[in-house]
Structure 1
Amino acid sequence: SGHTTLYQTHVKKKYRDLCSREFFTVAHDFFDQKITEEEHDYFEQLFTIKTIKKQSRTVILKGVQGIGKTTMLMKLLLAWSTGSIYQNRFSYVFYFCCREVKQLVSTSLADLISREWPSSPVPTAEILSEPQKLLFLIDSFEVLSCDLTQAESELCSDCMEERPVRVLLSSLLWKKMLPDSSLIVAVTSDNAGSLEEQLENPEVKKLVGFSESNRKLYVRCMFPDRSQGMAAFSFVREKEQLFTMCQIPLLCWVVGTCLKQEMERGKDLADTCRCTTSLYTSFIFNLFTPKGASCPTKESQNQLKGLCSLAAEGMWTGTQMFNKEDLKRNGILDSDIPALLDTKVLRRRESENCYVFLHISIQEFCAALFYLLRSHLDHPHKAVENTTLLLFTFLKREKEHWLFLGCFIFGLLHKQEQEKMDIFFGFQMCQEIKQQLFQCLDAIGESRDLQQEIDQLTLFYCLHEIQDEAFVQQVMAYQREIKLVIKDNVDLIVSAYCLKFCTTLRKLSLSGPQPLQMNSRCMSFKLNCWHQICSVLLTNNVQVLQVKDSKLDESAFIILYNQLKQPKCPLRSLKVNNITFFCESQLFFEVFLSNTNLKRLNLNHTTLSREDVQLLCDVLLHPECNIEKLL
């Protein structure tokens, strides 16, 4: 009938234009809407049969915010419209953005399809006649906060029937509606787990963003001068936090732009971009300072203050999309909007007629800056709370979308960031807010209940940002029991930094696969951090150590072994749970002969070979062994 060709022509025009307007933009020279060979293979393998079980027709595409899920779906849609992929598999591919769908009170699947069709009448009967040849791309699923556990009686099988959006999408995902159709659901990593549990045999794919080679190429492309580009990437490569940020394409642009700004101004990168907060401070302040000027105009200062007020409101209300009324309420006039859009910190979403921050981390930074500029009592929205409540909310991880907010507040109290604020706004923050933060942390130190509620690694990230040794030492003084799940190199750095200030530690629990496998990238760096963590066993009076849920390779084990075997190591109880050894296990058991302080050994969930059991028996029978309790 030619309807597929008509629709593909429409898709090519609509989504190419949409990509040009909305999907970032300043990186056009680097990004191409054409798919690479690698992407082509990735798309083709999304629905391939990998097991003998029934082939899955639902793919969950997960990744952190900004990693490129929407871009990936757009590329897939455009590739299908040009005939590059899925030509014999899918007659129609429809893209539904949950941010837009959320605005509808109720709708039908036929109506959603009609919204995507280029003309009238819509050949709905033909489109739905072969469900096995339909692919639905559902983007930003997390914005619906959708619980898929409703009773089956609530679900709908009729594509023409109007139902609440929640019920409609649940019916599609649960395969009550069009069970033979295929779906790709893009969702943030934090929300993917519950979605995966609720769906039947979904295929889960994780987007990891830029590879190291892409990060290198991207940063270098931003500098006309090759040597400057190489110097900028070398700086990023040495700063693990910045290097990790650059996995996310948008943040790679932020990092590259900031380094370029600072180098053009003749600044020392090691000084002005020493950590995450300092990079964001330099990036934002530079964007609002006219080129060649040493300070901003009064107008620019007020525009940034309005933006910070808007950001704070959004963090407390869980809002990332703002209309003109929201902007006006926070002091942003219509005449300010073009200037804010020029900075690229604020973007306009044409399709939804709203404004969003370039990235959620930019919104979090501006919200943190608000608290150093104004009191929450001055905010026009009642939802915005005080600094103390913000800190407790952040440390308890009560709001999933708060990833860096508390860290930025700590980081902005560093002397160098205060100096930047003095140049930009004409004043430095007094020490009052710093004292306020310490009083909160002091309250945590005096309450065991609060200590149980806070996430210690989150606290460590905050302390790492402030980089004030006296302050960190004060806070760490009350830490007697620490449990850390270390997932990546940055977790490892932050943990090593904070643990060295512990003086009263009695119990330490460490888990996570990444830090204990050293035979990978940055091996010497990781070994050094791991050594700093293990050194706590000798510098503190640690009584209980638990190492769990990890693979312990030889390099990591030797470092731990050298601390444990010391006769002066005060450890009395060692728990090694769900650990796989990639080393000579004999050394592990020798620890109990070298260190006579050890009284308790817990090996729950750690697999022992027959040889291991024999070694353990020999050690327990040895007169030098003082183990009294074995689990």
Structure 2
Amino acid sequence: MASVKHLLERSLNELKNPELKKFQWHLKNDKHVSESEMENADRLDTVDKMVACFGHEEAVKITVDFLRKMNQNNLAEQLEKNHKQAGRAEGNIKKSTAVGAHSKMIWGSAARAALHDYTETNLRLKNKLQKEYKRILVGNSQTGHREYLNDIYTNLHVVENDTGGRVDDHEVIQIESNRNRLTAKEKPVDCNEMFKVQCGTGRENRTVLTMGIAGVGKTVSVNKFILDWAEGTKNQNIVFIFPLPFRELNLVKEEYSLMGLLHKYFFSPKELPSLPEGDGKVLFIFDGLDECRFPLSFKEDDRFTNVNEKTTVSKIITNLIKTHLVPAAFIWITSRPAATSLIPREYIDQVTEMRGFNDQQKDQYFRNNCNPEVSENIICHIKKFRSLYIMCHIPVFCWISLTVLQPLLAQESNDKTPTTLTGMYINFLISQQQQMGKKYCDDPQTKANARSFDEIILKLGKLAFEQLEKGNLIFYKEDLEECGLDVSEGTVYSGLCTQIFQEQKARNVYSFVHLSVQEFLAALYVFLKGTDEKADIFNQSWSDKLTWKLSEKPLFQLHKAVVNKALKSKNGHLDLLLRFLLGLSLETNQSDLKELLPELKLKTENIKDTADYIRKKIEKEKSVERTINLLHCLSELKDNFVEEIQKKLSSGNLSAQNLSSAQWSGLMFVLLMSEETQEMFELQKYRRSDKALMRLQPVIKNTRRAL
């Protein structure tokens, strides 16, 4: 019986030298085998390298594929035929051995003899997952629609992350500091290649942790990975993929065995009596570590090895990760950065970071989802306003932008097209209100029972603010009820909450369509309630309350309180709320808000005091990330500070001036927002000091070439 290596050697021996070179060319270009590994490689070297890189089964599949590309169809068919015959012969030998070894036969009946059973169960699981994952919800569960994932999926920018550590900065700040940061040191990652044998080392990753901010596309990427496998196009060496998102696992209160858990979600005990043996036959996917609501303990004495013994879900997960349960299985975990420290780094083979869309992928998203003329108008508009363009690294923000801008930019002229984050989210709320009106205007009974949109918005704002204070992205029915919201109102009438899933005898789980939507609604709640001295939303001291009560500028006192609280936050969880709150203070945005909230009384207080206060804070602030956020705050206020820096920069005489700390920060901000600076930054143009160099570090890091 010929081995795989012998079969491959026999096929390559049929190729002449020029044809072998062409075969090796396909390996380098299609499978990314390095130039050095193929240099001077003969037929035997090529076979050894393929088996080391891809494993036996995948090496045969790749060879057949390349032979067909080279019009060597007879060779390809012969290799396929010989490989199948060798597989059947090996199976017969195993059967004979099993019959002759009676002591192993009973045990083997569940684990090995069911190879055919695994094949059938594999197909059944693929069919099940294909039905579940071939479509994806675009928008939310009430006003959204389902699309074929393969039709709308845009590749995401994923890199290898060597640190794997906890990241405490606000997630929007991470986007702004990470954008265009791909350097020679950062290695791009194809999610479909993560669990394959690595060329050059012959090793493979067993446990991969993928981190990325909320809404960046982690779950969608997981869905695409599963769909590709279920459709038979990728990772066919894996027999079973079991997706077990933490949102579902949170609801499992009773004890289960690992097999019992798989029977609960995927198969009956008769269909799956055991798991296949061998390396990499099973992949467990745990999506959303940051949403985990039960403790994960990695104590050494907490060892658990029996797949059929009942225990807690927590113990099952930790022992899978620690390789005590199903040691040969692959594990893929996704998480927001702040939660990655829940799993000790020693149990992770590779950490990857999902960066969302790069600039080309952003443009492609809009071109994929609307007609050419409107898509170009949208791309042109958001590129003019860099804070919007940067936020479009988040796929969900692209969807929000598309929802808002598509109807506006389809018109010949529109002076209400938003240019700031606050304006974008106000218009997003207006679009949701309009959809709600269209959906329920023809149903008198529903309309009669429904609360007004502004009343629901205020209650959702309270929910958003209280959950943001606690650091929660997901919440339950009782959380809505505590804020005076009926479940149907929270999901159906507003269109702003998404019902994640519903299962009999289980609680409904809710979240806002994106963290930034939660932060905007929280800011709106603070804006509407915060100038009332009775609404002590920040638990101020009695002296602060007295100052607030006696002040003739209550809006400024509110701004001051939120600026101070945001600057004290360790993880910047109020940074975006602060931006939105200041943006809501502009009369232009308030006039748009009146379309949503007809009873709103315009707050016409002069915001110059707020802008001056923020400038003073910028002078003293040492944190670059906090400084960037304060400068964004000035942009939301449409303050002319950044504009002044831009004028000085364009005048060419900036280097001759002694800039204050705030002005150096402003220069840094202008350069970070500039598309041109990403290519080359000429540091020698500017009068420098140690303090100035510190302020300009983010620009230097984000530039491909610094002079």
TM-score scaled to structure 2, two decimals? 0.60
Instruction: Return closer, same or farther for 1:543/1:406 CA change in 2, 3 Å cut-off.
Output: closer
Number of the residue aligned with 1:304 = 457
Counterparts of 2:607 and 2:208, CA distance in 1? 47
Letter in 2 for 1:137: I
Instruction: Return closer, same or farther for 1:338/1:99 CA change in 2, 3 Å cut-off.
Output: closer
* Aligned partner (choices 25, 37, 47) of residue 196 of structure 2: 47
Alignment of 1:266-285 (within 5 A): 268=414, 272-285=417-430
Instruction: Return closer, same or farther for 1:303/1:433 CA change in 2, 3 Å cut-off.
Output: farther
Contact 2:137 2:145 in 1 (8 A): no
Contact 2:118 2:276 in 1 (8 A): no
CA shift for structure 1 position 255: 0.3
Alignment of 1:373-392 (within 5 A): 373-375=528-530, 390-392=562-564
SS of the counterpart of 1:172?
helix
Number of the residue aligned with 2:228 = 79
Instruction: Return closer, same or farther for 1:116/1:397 CA change in 2, 3 Å cut-off.
Output: same
CA shift for structure 1 position 156: 2.7
2:224 paired with 1:109: no
CA shift for structure 1 position 291: 9.4
* Aligned partner (choices 512, 523, 526) of residue 368 of structure 1: 523
Number of the residue aligned with 2:401 = 255
Contact 2:240 2:282 in 1 (8 A): yes
Contact 1:506 1:543 in 2 (8 A): no
2:324 paired with 1:185: no
2:356 paired with 1:209: yes
Number of the residue aligned with 2:468 = 315
Letter in 2 for 1:459: L
For residues 327-371 of structure 1, give each alpha carbon's deviation from its aligned partner in whole angstroms, at most 9, with x where no partner exists: 233233355346436x3x221112462222111111111111111
2:583 paired with 1:430: no
For residues 510-536 of structure 1, give each alpha carbon's deviation from its aligned partner in whole angstroms, at most 9, with x where no partner exists: 999x979x9xx9326876xx67x9887
CA shift for structure 1 position 184: 1.2
SS of the counterpart of 1:268?
coil
* Aligned partner (choices 463, 479, 483) of residue 326 of structure 1: 479
Alignment of 1:370-519 (within 5 A): 370-375=525-530, 390-399=562-571, 402=574, 404-426=576-598, 427-430=600-603, 455-469=626-640, 504-505=660-661
Alignment of 1:234-253 (within 5 A): 234-253=380-399
CA shift for structure 1 position 407: 1.6
CA shift for structure 1 position 253: 1.2
CA shift for structure 1 position 554: 9.8
SS of the counterpart of 1:420?
helix
Counterparts of 2:425 and 2:561, CA distance in 1? 24
CA shift for structure 1 position 279: 0.9
CA shift for structure 1 position 165: 4.0
CA shift for structure 1 position 243: 2.3
Instruction: Return closer, same or farther for 1:511/1:228 CA change in 2, 3 Å cut-off.
Output: closer
SS of the counterpart of 2:661?
coil
Letter in 2 for 1:354: V
SS of the counterpart of 2:603?
coil
Letter in 2 for 1:204: V
Counterparts of 2:230 and 2:603, CA distance in 1? 58
For residues 463-522 of structure 1, give each alpha carbon's deviation from its aligned partner in whole angstroms, at most 9, with x where no partner exists: 33222237999xx9xxxxxxxxxxxxxxxx9xxxxx99996429979999x979x9xx93
2:497 paired with 1:346: yes
Instruction: Return closer, same or farther for 1:154/1:409 CA change in 2, 3 Å cut-off.
Output: same
- Unmatched segments (≥5 aa) in structure 2: 1-113, 158-188, 442-446, 541-557, 650-654
Contact 2:210 2:335 in 1 (8 A): yes
Number of the residue aligned with 1:590 = none
2:106 paired with 1:16: no
Instruction: Return closer, same or farther for 1:401/1:187 CA change in 2, 3 Å cut-off.
Output: farther
SS of the counterpart of 1:287?
helix
For residues 103-127 of structure 1, give each alpha carbon's deviation from its aligned partner in whole angstroms, at most 9, with x where no partner exists: 3455443332222223244634x21
CA shift for structure 1 position 393: 4.1
2:320 paired with 1:172: yes
* Aligned partner (choices 432, 438, 448) of residue 287 of structure 1: 432
Instruction: Return closer, same or farther for 1:131/1:222 CA change in 2, 3 Å cut-off.
Output: closer
SS of the counterpart of 1:61?
strand
SS of the counterpart of 2:192?
helix
How many residue pairs end up in the alignment?
Answer: 513
Counterparts of 1:222 and 1:37, CA distance in 2? 14
Counterparts of 2:532 and 2:122, CA distance in 1? 53
Identity %: 20
Instruction: Return closer, same or farther for 1:148/1:508 CA change in 2, 3 Å cut-off.
Output: farther
* Aligned partner (choices 32, 35, 43) of residue 150 of structure 2: 32
SS of the counterpart of 2:401?
helix
Counterparts of 2:119 and 2:572, CA distance in 1? 41
RMSD of the alignment, in Å?
Answer: 4.9
SS of the counterpart of 1:243?
helix
Counterparts of 1:409 and 1:58, CA distance in 2? 42
Contact 1:139 1:186 in 2 (8 A): yes
Instruction: Return closer, same or farther for 1:385/1:420 CA change in 2, 3 Å cut-off.
Output: farther
CA shift for structure 1 position 91: 1.9
* Aligned partner (choices 338, 351, 357) of residue 512 of structure 2: 357
Contact 1:419 1:428 in 2 (8 A): no
Counterparts of 1:411 and 1:335, CA distance in 2? 31
Instruction: Return closer, same or farther for 1:267/1:410 CA change in 2, 3 Å cut-off.
Output: farther
SS of the counterpart of 2:275?
helix
Counterparts of 1:505 and 1:196, CA distance in 2? 40
Counterparts of 1:305 and 1:180, CA distance in 2? 51
Number of the residue aligned with 1:57 = 206
Letter in 2 for 1:425: L
For residues 179-238 of structure 1, give each alpha carbon's deviation from its aligned partner in whole angstroms, at most 9, with x where no partner exists: 22111111224444x4686134622333333344443343245445x4233222211233
Number of the residue aligned with 2:272 = 123
For residues 401-423 of structure 1, give each alpha carbon's deviation from its aligned partner in whole angstroms, at most 9, with x where no partner exists: 55622221122222321221234
Letter in 1 for 2:234: I
Determine which structure has the larger strand proportion and give its number.
1
Instruction: Return closer, same or farther for 1:509/1:359 CA change in 2, 3 Å cut-off.
Output: closer
Contact 2:583 2:637 in 1 (8 A): yes
SS of the counterpart of 1:288?
helix
Counterparts of 2:629 and 2:339, CA distance in 1? 19
Number of the residue aligned with 1:97 = 245
CA shift for structure 1 position 138: 1.1
**Which of 259-268 and 129-138 deviates more?**
259-268
SS of the counterpart of 1:127?
coil
- Unmatched segments (≥5 aa) in structure 1: 477-492, 494-498, 558-631
CA shift for structure 1 position 553: 7.6
Counterparts of 1:556 and 1:167, CA distance in 2? 50
Instruction: Return closer, same or farther for 1:350/1:327 CA change in 2, 3 Å cut-off.
Output: same
Counterparts of 2:518 and 2:564, CA distance in 1? 19
Contact 1:62 1:188 in 2 (8 A): yes
Contact 1:33 1:75 in 2 (8 A): no
For residues 255-298 of structure 1, give each alpha carbon's deviation from its aligned partner in whole angstroms, at most 9, with x where no partner exists: 011012333677636x54111111111111232147999xx998
Counterparts of 2:610 and 2:430, CA distance in 1? 25
Contact 2:259 2:308 in 1 (8 A): yes
Counterparts of 2:249 and 2:684, CA distance in 1? 51
Contact 1:311 1:366 in 2 (8 A): yes
SS of the counterpart of 1:185?
strand
Letter in 2 for 1:9: R
CA shift for structure 1 position 452: 7.2
**Which structure ranks higher in relative contact order (CA pairs < 8 Å, sequence separation ≥ 6)?**
2
Number of the residue aligned with 2:171 = none
Number of the residue aligned with 2:365 = 218
